[in-house]
Amino acid sequence: MTAPAPTPSTPPIRLTEEVATAVAEGRPVVALESTIISHGMPYPDNVAMALEVEGIVREHGAVPATIAVLDGVPRAGLDHDALELLARDPGVTKASVRDLPHVVARGGHGATTVAATMRLAALAGIDVFVTGGLGGVHRGAAESLDVSADLTELAVTPVTVVCAGVKSILDIGLTLEVLETNGVPVMVVGSDEFPAFYSRVSGHAAPSRIESAADVAAAMTAARGLGLRSGLVVANPIPVADEIPAAEIDGVIARALADLDALGIGGKDVTPYLLKRIVELTDGASLVANIALVRHNARLGAAIASAHAAR
């Protein structure tokens, strides 16, 4: 039997010329996700945040590449119209890895989660990715088995994810356990404690502590040299000035979780519901903190991409 002739195929992901050139020349590029735009923040704060974060990445010497699927085509690098569509079109699917084939095959629009963005960033040749918060092991997962595909993707895709830790809507301890099981390096910037998104403290120790973007770049090089195929998590604690104290946010989160239960919401709608409810219950204070920490992460991510490109 002869092997079937290769079918002429289109590239799996379309890069803008700017992103393609930067990747080809080994210049710093930072991937950005799009579920945070479509399902993580209300309109129009979401599109304003997306544009501002791209600007911050540029100011800090890297090329931003926001990733999404549009009309069935995975893309790295989006224009203003595309960001606007993701921000306000209710027909945009929240796309994790398991959703990608269907969104692509039916020619739909998909806003990519951390997991799906990592997968597409790797296809595009981008190895640094900035977001706000990572998905993880949900509280009550012993019963529900609700564990974000972000964690399984981190086990198998070599992309560095800059985040502000994980929210206490999740079980932070179990999330760190699963990352450990999967061999994913977790490094906290300038703190001995793993951060809890809105607050700098979580009660969980940092698996490892680093001090600078250069330290992350060195760890990325070491991971590749050692043949690790996993991603790296860089947890960047929210700046002190923007923090919501744990004591304050914990009550809000408990209330949001109770409302989730009462409504019987499950599956992929859990995280978007909780984020929206927390914004409501804090009168928008959680949104202000969320945007502040994404800005902070964008500065660090651009510095990591620059330090890594210089190695």
Residue type, 161: V
Q: Which stretch binds ligand PSU (CB under 6 A): 33-41, 121-129, 172-180, 227-235?
A: 33-41
Q: Is 243 in the site for Mn ion (CB under 5 A)?
A: no
| Binding residue for ligand PSU, selected from 135, 185, 231, 237, defined by CB under 6 A | 135
Assess whether 268 carries a catalytic annotation.
no
Cβ–Cβ < 8 Å for 306, 28: yes
Terminal-residue alpha carbon distance, the chain: 47
Q: How far apart are CA 270 and CA 144, in angstroms?
A: 12
Cβ–Cβ < 8 Å for 295, 153: no
Q: How far apart are CA 99 and CA 241, in angstroms?
A: 38
Residue 185's binding partner, choosing from ligand PSU, Mn ion, none, with beta-carbon cut-off 5 to 8 A by kind? none
| Binding residue for Mn ion, selected from 146, 150, 171, 243, defined by CB under 5 A | 146
Distance of closest approach, residue 64 Cβ to ligand PSU, in angstroms: 17
Q: Is 150 in the site for ligand PSU (CB under 6 A)?
A: yes
Q: Which stretch binds Mn ion (CB under 5 A): 37-45, 142-150, 199-207, 245-253?
A: 142-150
Residue 160's binding partner, choosing from ligand PSU, Mn ion, none, with beta-carbon cut-off 5 to 8 A by kind? none
Phi and psi of 112, rounded to 5°? -90, 135
Q: Which is nearer to ligand PSU, 11 or 101 (CB)?
A: 101
Contacting ligand PSU within 95-134 (CB under 6 A): 96, 113-114, 132-133
Distance of closest approach, residue 148 Cβ to Mn ion, in angstroms: 5
Tell the residue number behind the tokens 């604690």, with chain if given: 237
Contacting ligand PSU within 213-272 (CB under 6 A): 268, 271
Q: Which stretch binds ligand PSU (CB under 6 A): 74-82, 144-152, 257-265, 303-311?
A: 144-152
Q: Where are the beta strands (DSSP E) in the chain?
A: 14-15, 29-32, 63-70, 73-76, 93-95, 110-112, 128-130, 160-163, 186-189, 208-210, 232-235
Q: How far apart are CA 70 and CA 16, in angstroms?
A: 13
Cβ–Cβ < 8 Å for 110, 99: yes
| Binding residue for ligand PSU, selected from 29, 30, 40, 93, defined by CB under 6 A | 40
Q: Is 301 in the site for ligand PSU (CB under 6 A)?
A: no
Q: Which is nearer to ligand PSU, 191 or 286 (CB)?
A: 286
Q: Up-side HSE of residue 93: CA atoms within 13 Å toward CB?
A: 20
Phi and psi of 215, rounded to 5°? -60, -40
Assess whether 84 carries a catalytic annotation.
no
**Where do contacts with ligand PSU occur on this chain (CB under 6 A)?**
33, 35-36, 40, 96, 113-114, 132-133, 135, 148-150, 167, 268, 271, 275
Catalytic residues: 33, 167
